[in-house]
């Protein structure tokens, strides 16, 4: 799993500004007001070719009894406990505070890397503001300006030395990893128990019973599986501030990041909701197989058009996953539950499939003749060569004269054609465009 890097510190020391700097986009709210971040933000990040999950937290105020600040402290404490590496940010303009000292004492007791950072050091003259912080007795203190991107590179370069290198996929080729994801109380644990044939996880009508990702290996028809039950992912507005549930979202994301297949559970009585679509997007963005599992199907009144209407609604609301299989089950009665694994076997064979390079280029040449790429600066934007570079998900590299000139709509055309031509009908595939000048041409 990706290591978790947590950013902690008092309110308004620049944590969210630093988070946005590393994440590469303005995801966290940044305003000059203490406590703007009360929730945890998280983002998959890459530094020096090493990946990690970066977590922004609300302000940590150790001695405060004010309810909101207590809740924020609880969230930050959870982040500290769950993280692999901690970045503790202090404000150089405020000087050293008793809260900074108390947080430092907490971090000293942990057996994990912690980086102590003085923020808002915007120029060389302000470096002397950091001297007072050496009273903490910390050997290495970093100074930076997250706003102006000063000192950030040095900090992250040192931090990346504690991150594991990105490795090739060494997952057990015989084991298919399946994450069961969805909103609270849609029947995730019930489905897991029904597949396994015994009560592996707690089943309770109270939403949010499952707090952690629970792994269970099993074997069926000589195939090895790993089933991962995850916590329900609520809308932010429904999450109780300060509750343990918020960090369960990160655990669910980490579970999806290490699976091959995601069962996206939908409550048949509710139908597909906006939150279901957002959860499906988490899995889609990570390139895993997505299967919509419509649960509690036994509770729905049906006629000849019911299934068709459900399928149409799911494909309409989650257009980015219109290729994903859909199955209707009842985890309570066991109706069609084991048929899900038949779908997994079929789709997994597509997910791990390789296409012969010669066949790939021959078929792509025909596709390009049917619809050549748009011209760039009044010149033919030649696609010279195509190769499949990986599986899970199937990933193809197109070598093209000007990659930046390929519009997303043309990329979508190629994805759809490759999916249909080579038998990838129900799995995500990825296309990468790279610049290469060669004499040979696939375009005619």
> 175-351 and 357-435 share one CATH topology?
no
CATH level 3 topology of 175-351: Rossmann fold (3.40.50)
Longest alpha-carbon distance in the chain:
76
Residue 219 token pair: 């074997």
0.85 surpassed by pTM: no
pLDDT at residue 60, rounded to an integer: 64
- Domain 357-435: state its class: alpha beta
DSSP code for 20: H
Query: Cα 135 to chain center, whole Å?
Result: 39
For 4, 47, 149, 157, 168, the CA distances from 160, given in Å and listed in that order, are 12, 7, 17, 5, 18
pLDDT at 49: 84
Q: Which residue, among 56, 60, 75, has the nearest Cα to 18 in the 3D structure?
A: 56
Report the half-sphere exposure of 26 (CA within 13 A, side-chain side). 4
Residues of the chain with pLDDT under 50: 26-40, 68-69, 168-171, 201-212, 237-245, 438-441, 443-444
Count CA atoms closer than 13 A to 224's CA, side-chain side. Answer: 6
The dihedral region occupied by 345, where left means phi > 0, alpha psi between -120 and 50, and beta the remainder, is alpha
Domain ranges of the chain: 4-160, 175-351, 357-435
Single out the residue of 238, 227, 230 nearest to residue 282, CA to CA.
Answer: 230
- Give the pLDDT score at 33: 38
For residue 232, give every residue at least 6 positions away whose Cβ sits within 8 Å of its Cβ, in sequence order, or none: 182, 183, 184, 185, 186, 188, 207, 208, 210, 248
CATH fold of 4-160 reads: Rossmann fold (3.40.50)
């Amino acid at each position: 799993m990706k290591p978790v890097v947590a950013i902690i510190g008092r309110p308004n020391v620049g944590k969210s500004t630093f988070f946005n700097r590393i994440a590469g986009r303005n995801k966290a709210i940044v305003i000059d007001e203490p406590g703007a971040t009360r929730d945890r933000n998280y983002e998959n990040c890459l530094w020096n070719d090493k990946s990690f999950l970066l977590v922004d937290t609300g302000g940590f105020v150790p001695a405060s009894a004010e309810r909101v600040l207590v809740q924020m402290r609880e969230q930050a404490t959870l982040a500290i406990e769950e993280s692999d590496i901690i970045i503790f940010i202090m404000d150089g303009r405020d000087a050293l505070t008793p809260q900074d000292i108390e947080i430092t004492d907490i971090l000293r007791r942990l057996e994990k890397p912690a980086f102590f950072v003085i923020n808002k050091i915007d120029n060389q003259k302000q470096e002397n503001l950091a001297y007072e912080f050496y009273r903490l007795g910390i050997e290495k203190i970093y100074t930076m300006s997250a706003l102006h991107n000063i000192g950030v590179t040095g900090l992250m370069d040192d931090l990346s030395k504690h991150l594991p290198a990105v490795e090739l996929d060494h997952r057990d080729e015989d084991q298919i990893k399946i994450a069961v994801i969805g909103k609270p109380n849609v029947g995730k644990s019930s489905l897991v128990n029904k597949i396994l044939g015994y009560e592996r996880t707690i089943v309770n009508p109270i939403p949010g019973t499952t707090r952690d990702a629970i792994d269970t290996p099993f074997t069926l028809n000589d195939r090895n599986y790993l089933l991962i039950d995850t916590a329900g992912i609520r809308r932010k507005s429904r999450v109780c501030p300060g509750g343990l549930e918020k960090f369960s979202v990160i655990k669910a994301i980490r579970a999806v990041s290490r699976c091959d297949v995601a069962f996206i559970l939908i409550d048949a009585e509710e139908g597909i909701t906006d939150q279901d679509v957002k959860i499906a997007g988490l899995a889609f963005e990570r390139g895993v197989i997505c299967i919509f599992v419509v649960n509690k199907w036994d509770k729905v009144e049906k006629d000849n058009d019911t299934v068709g209407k459900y399928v149409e609604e799911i494909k309409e609301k989650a257009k980015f996953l219109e290729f994903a299989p859909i199955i209707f089950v009842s985890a309570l009665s066991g109706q069609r539950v084991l048929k899900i694994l038949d779908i997994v076997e079929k789709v997994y064979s597509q997910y791990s499939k390789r296409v012969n390079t010669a066949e790939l280029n021959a078929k792509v040449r025909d596709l390009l003749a049917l619809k050549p790429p748009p011209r760039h600066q009044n010149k033919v934007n030649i696609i010279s060569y195509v190769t499949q570079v990986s599986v899970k998900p199937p990933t193809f590299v197109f070598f093209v004269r000007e990659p930046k000139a390929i519009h997303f709509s043309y990329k979508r055309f190629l994805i759809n054609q490759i999916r249909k031509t080579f038998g990838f009908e129900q799995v995500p595939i990825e296309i990468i465009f790279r610049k290469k000048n060669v004499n040979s041409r696939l375009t005619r």
